Amino acid sequence: DWQLVKARGVLEAHRDTFIEHDDERLRALIDTHEGSDPRAQLEALYHQTGDLLDLKNLINHLRNTRDWVALQPLLPELFRRERTVDNALQLIEGMRRQPQPDYPAILAFLEAHQDLVEQDLDLASEQAWALSHLGRLQDAAAINRRLLQARDHPSDLLLETNIALQWGDWEEFPVI
């Protein structure tokens, strides 16, 4: 593609004007658009700089390739450095997508950051699901009732169905 050739030319022509490591970041981006796998470059750059930007670039690449195992050590670091609802959701998703999800660890994380859970319905849903996986159905149902009142989301309806099945609450099915 002529645009990629032009981008490489501009990158090389202005290499001396870039701020430290920006040329490497741009090269990885161009390589990605050319179809190369930039993972090794992104990992090396993050390990070299430790910059938040490089951590985010590596995480974005690993999310795009769905490498949940490689993401697992990086997502807690991102959350530690930038404590946001979005980063908490990414961390929980990464924990859930492991070959053997550690629901006690998921629940412990959510309980440790209850202030964020109370700000976001998706985090509350993750907490309800973790509770249900751990057999704490009363607690899961209480959170899920709040979710069902606040929104119409398929995940909440599915959890409601799962809880009803586990309780053998057949009268609940016409309502669901």
pLDDT digit string (tens) for the chain, length 176 residues: 666 566 556 656 666 665 677 667 767 776 676 677 889 999 999 999 999 999 999 999 999 999 999 999 999 999 999 999 999 999 999 999 999 999 999 999 999 999 999 999 999 999 999 999 999 999 999 999 999 999 999 999 999 999 999 888 767 655 55
- pLDDT confidence of residue 84: 98
- pLDDT confidence of residue 34: 67
Task: Give, as one character, the DSSP assignment of residue 72.
Answer: T
pTM (2 d.p.)? 0.81
User: Which residue is listed with tokens 């599915």?
Assistant: 158
H or E element that contains 109: helix 103-112
- pLDDT confidence of residue 45: 93
Two tokens at 104?
A: 């006690």
**Cβ neighbours of 15 (radius 10 Å):** 12
- How does 65-102 read in b/e, with b if 16+ C-beta sit within 10 Å? eeebebbeebbebbbeeeeeeebbbbbbebbbeeeeee
Provide the phi-psi class of 35: left if phi over 0, else alpha when psi is between -120 and 50, else beta: left
